[in-house]
Structures are given as structure tokens and as C-alpha cells.
Amino acid sequence: MRVAVLGLGEAGRIYAADLAERGSVVTAADPVATTAPPGVTLASGTPEAVRGADVVLSLVGGVSAASALDSALPELVSGSVYADMNTVEPSEKRRLAERAAARGIPFVDVAILAPVPRARLATPLALSGTGAARLQSLLDGLQVPTTLVGAEAGDAGGLKLLRSVFMKGLAALVFESVTAARAIGAEDWVIDQIASELGPSGHALVRRLLEGTPVHAVRREAEMRDALAFLEALGAAHPMTDGAIEWLHALAGEPDAGPAASDPS
């Protein structure tokens, strides 16, 4: 299988490297990347990367999702599948799908349902859109876990945003609790209490929230603003989402803010 990966950020590099390792012919494009993972060919741009690809995986970030699709479409043929793995509003996913449909290209809205560095290709994906069944068939052969969640683009993305409401809200609560606990020397005790409520992997989850949120605050704020727009479109209340956005915005302006994660046993 020939795969084009657009975007060589953290997730893009992992998908490119692991797909190449499992036997796919992988070409990647990223305007700021100077190197590609082992076994991956770095193209000069999106058109070169997607030419002849069976599957295109777009991991360029929500802001660049539309421009990446527009650059790719002229080089794709009807047998290609375009998978948008970026987190954007469901309405934007539907607009992207319409552009692809106008060129006869099956489009897949892909929601990544866990941090990619943790499980790599074993990260669960939710799929929707006209090309979802075909992409699922192709990924099944590579042992990538997928679930079909809807017929239309935007169905998977909407579920991802609802998950984000919880996960980013949880991160805000963890930070708030741990920061306050530090003031009275009870940081480890509070972390243990939180972790015990989150199941066997509770300590690892708390650590990821404390370590990862400051690093990715800008991207996560943008994701939560998309979640807010989705909640408003649904007519749902969103006070917790409002608070999470305000907190992430402040955190993005102060990269070193928040408690450092301890390493509880």
C-alpha cells in the first residue's frame, strides 16, 4: 500500500515511521521538516507526496486542514482515499468532504481517540464519511484498531470533540487540585487520591495530564474552541468548557505554569 502522510509533527512522524515499518511505501510532506523517519521518503511538497498514493493521511493541524486538502486533490485519482485526522468542527469536516466529493475522492473523517505516542499504530480511531469502510479495510490489514461511527464526515469529529470536553476539563481539575495541594505540602497525597479514582492506569494518566498539557496548551485551546462551537450548535450548556478554555489560554501564555508531575509509585 502506498501512503502519503501530510504533516510530520509528533503524530505524523509516528504514523509515517510505523506504517513504513509494517511494509507500506510511505511518502511524507511537511513545509518545515528537513528529515523524515527511517524508511520514509520526504517529498518536496504535498502534490509530490500524494501522487500515486492509495491513502492520504492528513495530520497538519486544524488550521491547515483545508489548504492541505486543496493542494492534494489535483494529484489524486478516484481510487485514492483522503483521511483527515485533524481536530476541527464537524461543519468544517463536512465542507472538506464536499470539496473532495466534487473531485470524486472518497473522504474519511478520522478521530484519534488517545495520545498517539502512547500506543502508536494501536491508537484507536473512529471513522466516518464516504471512504470510511474502505479505509477501515486497508487499516485492518495493518492491525490499526478502527470503528465506523457514522456515514457522514463530521460524525467522528463530533465525537472526538465531546471526548475533548471531558479530557481537557479533567486536566484543568487535576492541575487546580494539585497546585492547591502543593501549597500545603499535600501534592503526592492528592495525586494518589485522584489516581485511585481513575483505575489501574490512574497514576500514568495524571502524569500525562500534568506533563503534556503545558506543552500542548496552544493546540488544546484551539481544540476546545472547536468543541465550544460544537456545543453551541447543539444547544448544550458549556460552563466547564468555558473554564477550560480560559485556563488553557492562560497556560499557553505561560509555558512553565502549573505543577511539575511527580513520579508516584
What pLDDT was estimated at residue 146?
A: 97
Determine whether domain 158-253 maps to CATH 1.10.1040.10. yes
Asked whether the predicted pLDDT for residue 257 surpasses 60, the reply is no
- List the grid coordinates of 65: 486542514
What element of type H or E holds 53? none
pLDDT band, residue 254 (cuts 50/70/90): low
Give pLDDT tens digits for 78-115: 889 999 999 999 999 999 999 999 999 999 999 999 98
Q: Provide the residue ranges of all domains of the chain, joining segments of one domain with +.
A: 2-151, 158-253
The strands making up 125-128's β-sheet, listed across from edge to edge, are 40-42, 25-29, 2-6, 55-58, 81-84, 107-112, 125-128, 146-150
What pLDDT was estimated at residue 264?
A: 28
State which fold the 2-151 domain adopts.
Answer: Rossmann fold (3.40.50)
Residue 48 burial (CB < 10 Å; 0-12/13-18/19+)?
Answer: middle
Q: Is 187 helix (H, G, I), strand (E, B) or coil?
A: helix
What pLDDT was estimated at residue 259?
A: 44
Whole-prediction pTM: 0.88
H helices within the chain, ranges in order? 10-21, 46-50, 65-72, 90-102, 116-119, 132-140, 155-182, 187-197, 202-215, 217-234, 239-253
> Which residue has cell 495524571?
206
What pLDDT was estimated at residue 261?
A: 35
CB count, 10 Å around CB of 177?
18
Give pLDDT tens digits for 63-80: 999 999 999 999 998 889
DSSP state letters, 218-253:
HHHHHHHHHHHHHHHHHT---HHHHHHHHHHHHHHH
